[in-house]
Amino acid sequence: MRIARFLTNGNEHYGVVEGDEIKEIAGDIFGDFKVTTRRYLLAKVKLLAPMKPGQIWCPGLNFASHLHVSASATGQSSLPKHPQPWTKGVNSLAGPEDNIVIPKASKGNVHYEGELVAVIGKRCRNVSPAQAMDYVCGYTCGNDVSERDWQKADNSYWRAKGSDTFCPIGPWIETEASPTNVEMIVRVNGKEAQRASAKDMLFDFATIISHISQQVTLQPGDALFSGTTGDTAAMKPGDVVEVEMTGVGVLRNYVKAES
């Protein structure tokens, strides 16, 4: 099932995507809901970020192929022995087809990071890795947009990864995806720029969720990114960036300079 959040006639709804249509949902997507008879053409509605997370978590360095990039940006030169999670501000949230805005204060060294995103489906605290996946309702696509100069200059990621629009996610939550079968692909202006497999995560989602839940309560709608792979590159105004997670969907955004 593909669950989306969308805007039509000025009103926000949740719905189930089937082909070129979206069927409106009544109720709580993380609890009891039913699919109504109200239908809309997908091309005629505005898709939003598929949920409203209270928390957005990233695992830290989570792919061996990204170590040299991490070392350059943060000085971390060895693979972590456990997840090193950090949070992205909810202010950074953006949806499909939205703009990624390069801040005026940036010199333009703003990179894409295509990632798989797990969506928490129920309250989660003190769970084991064996239990953790029972708390995931599905997956979506994410772009952990990162200002590399600020990563080097600052002691935290508050602006490097938390600036407005630096967290596009979407286009929907796919409830039947399996991380072990997902290829992670980024295209810039139609040209492939990044590719890897989610099965190569150093710490899988079960490990990350369990690790976080020992100290922090995860709530329905919270987002957990997979981490990114390999080399990334700076985006420039006018670029079109697509993040595809096979079996999940394609997230498309447009790069603009802050006016």
* 253: nearest Cα among 174, 161, 3, 243: 243
Q: Are residues 160 and 205 in the same domain?
A: yes
Look at residue 189 and tell me whether its pLDDT is greater than 90: yes
**Is the CB of residue 59 less than 8 Å from the CB of residue 83?**
yes
| pLDDT at position 64 | 77
Domain that holds residue 21: 1-48
* Per-residue pLDDT at 38: 96
pTM for the full predicted model: 0.94
The structure tokens 């309250």 sit at: 123
197: CATH: 3.90.850.10
* Whole-angstrom Cα Rg for the chain: 18
DSSP secondary structure string for all residues of 187-247? EETTEEEEEEEGGG-SS-HHHHHHHHHTTS-B-TT-EEE----S---B--TT-EEEEEETT
Residues 225, 187 share a domain: yes
Peptide bond into 179 cis (omega under 30): no
Position 77 scores a pLDDT of 59
Out of 9, 33, 48, a domain closes at: 48
Pair (119, 142) in one structural domain: yes
- Both 36 and 135 in one domain: the answer is no
CA–CA distance, 165 with 101 (Å, rounded to integer): 6
- Considering its fold, how many domains does the chain have in total? 2
Are residues 9 and 56 located together in one domain of the fold?
A: no
Here the CATH number for the domain that contains residue 12 is 2.30.30.370
- Residue 69 has a pLDDT of 59
pLDDT tens digits, one per residue of 2-60: 999 999 999 999 999 999 999 999 999 999 999 999 999 999 999 999 999 999 999 98
Contact 85, 60 (CB under 8 A): yes
Task: Tell me, yes or no, whether 37 and 90 share the same domain.
Answer: no
Handedness of CA 50, 232, 161, 59 (dihedral sign): positive
Q: Are residues 30 and 64 in the same domain?
A: no
Give the pLDDT band (50/70/90) at residue 74: low
- Of residues 68 and 24, which shows the higher confidence score? 24
**Mean pLDDT across the chain:** 94
25 and 104 share one domain: no
pLDDT on residue 243: 98
User: In the listed set 48, 69, 86, which residue is the last one of a domain according to the structure?
Assistant: 48
- pLDDT, one tens digit per residue, over 102-117 is 999 999 999 999 999 9
pLDDT for the residue numbered 60: 82
For residues 32 and 53, membership in a common domain is answered with no
Query: Please, are residues 47 and 6 in contact by the beta-carbon 8 Å criterion?
Result: yes
Q: Quick one: pLDDT at residue 26?
A: 97
Assess whether 100 and 138 both reside in one domain.
yes
Chosen domain end from 48, 67, 86:
48
Please say whether the beta carbons of 63 and 76 come within 8 A: no
Per-residue pLDDT reduced to its tens digit, 77-100: 577 888 999 999 999 999 999 999
Report percent pLDDT > 90 for the chain: 87
The reply to whether 63 and 84 lie within a common domain is yes
Do 178 and 123 fall into the same domain? yes
